[in-house]
Amino acid sequence: MTKDKKRVLFIGAGRMAQAIIEGLSNKPEFAILVSNNGNEERLEFVKNHYGVETTVNWLNNLVNMDIIFLAMPPDAHDTILNELAKQINGQLVLTVAAGIGPAYLESKLPNSTPVASIMPNTAAKLGESITLYAPGQYVNQQHVQWIESLISGIGQFERVTEKQIQELTAVTGSAPAFIYKLAGALEQMALETGITQQQARKLVSQMIAGSAEMLKTNIDTNELINQVATPGGSTAAGLELLDDHQFSTTIQQAINACRQKAAAIK
């Protein structure tokens, strides 16, 4: 591997690792080495498809690495962190696993190891994630630059605290499923008018994409609603029904249900 590049070891070669590796394809400042849990076929695919190096024995390569990126299930972390702790020497350790916070990583690794938790969402594979990251206490400005450069390939990002990443994961990670549920209900109504599935998907997806663009103008959501709904008009009738059914409260309760479940799983 080239010496002046930052060397990144991915442990885990699944969907999330591949989305991030894909996002790094136009970032020549990183040299990538990928390992996994022994699925050699997947490792071969990753090597050929993304043009990165792979290894079945990441421990042998650890000493040469600058950044260790854990992209495997939460329950695989303890074993890997125990192995890492024996040989790590100041490298930056990142994880995308839900519920593995920087304090936990720090508790498992030698004192003063720089760590961070990263929480992308499924839109990462299209480069459209909103990704949260929470650095640990030993992360410096150089590490922050590496983290932001690594995750900028999968979309936009925000730096938050450990407590905030726990609470916001429901909003950025889970709520896309709420949007798809809304989309599914609207698609169904569109299909009932006699248009094709393809047409219904086009209508609904572009309506949501356009609404997202309007949100990005930072106009207050109530004002955006007012721009659509004339008092006493047809949209207002629909909004009234949503209010009668406590739509906003229901969404907030759903976010809280995600948070409670996430806390219980840990």
What's the closest the beta carbon of residue 206 comes to ligand NAP, in angstroms?
23
Per residue, the 3-state secondary structure of the chain, as one string, reads: CCCCCEEEEEECCCHHHHHHHHHCCCCCCEEEEEECCCCHHHHHHHHHHHCCEECCCHHHHHHHCCEEEECCCHHHHHHHHHHHHHHCCCCEEEECCCCCCHHHHHHHCCCCCCEEEEECCHHHHHCCEEEEEEECCCCCHHHHHHHHHHHHCCEEEEECCHHHHHHHHHHHHHHHHHHHHHHHHHHHHHHCCCCCHHHHHHHHHHHHHHHHHHHCCCCCHHHHHHHHCCCCCHHHHHHHHHHHCCHHHHHHHHHHHHHHHHHHHC
What's the closest the beta carbon of residue 41 comes to ligand NAP, in angstroms?
9
Of 128 and 148, nearer to ligand NAP (C-beta) is: 128
Which residue ranges make up the site for ligand NAP (CB under 6 A)? 11-17, 36-39, 42, 71-74, 76, 79-80, 96-98, 119-122, 173
Residue nearest to ligand NAP (CB): 14
Of 11 and 139, nearer to ligand NAP (C-beta) is: 11
Of 46 and 190, nearer to ligand NAP (C-beta) is: 46
Of 73 and 90, nearer to ligand NAP (C-beta) is: 73
Of 39 and 197, nearer to ligand NAP (C-beta) is: 39
